[in-house]
Structure 1
């Protein structure tokens, strides 16, 4: 409670906002609210890694490597090592991107070869 007996949410503001000149002997009460944002938890890309593992693993082993790094990222997140989880998650994302690109190029080449013959 403040000195006037009001709860902090309903403190009446004295003075005017349009004018910065306050009345003599009257103070303006301003309440500040701070909001702390919690950092976003790191992503482990486990679903994308599973898709890369099952669908693009015959092309190369990038899907398996991405799945391993995704599992490591999830384990690090569970034990509370957020920096390690970010590192492993970033590596898993890069491997997933490469696995997706390589698999897409292989499918495109197969369609082009099948269309030509």
Structure 2
């Protein structure tokens, strides 16, 4: 997966916006204003994704490309190095899990507004 494919995949999800809230090189994808995926456009290609703390431990033990989230809450966020050692299918699954983890915690009114199912 390259940066264009990552962007297309994230932007195809319901309620997603993209922005550069921190600096000119950190691209952030949000659903209903809440971050679920971050990537830097300058440094090595990696993404920060949110997941369940217990699953994060498992992922870090099984995949060397998965590390605690850089500049993020290390219990809830991972940095996933996109170096070919993680398949596109697995990366998409991790993106989906991060997205739905955020959606699940949205207020009922917001979920109804976006018509999440």
Please indicate, yes or no, whether the TM-score normalized by the shorter chain is above 0.5. Answer: no
Whose Rg is larger? Answer: 1
Tell me which protein shows more helix as a share of its residues: 1
Tell me which protein shows more strand as a share of its residues: 2
Q: TM-score, normalised by structure 2?
A: 0.29
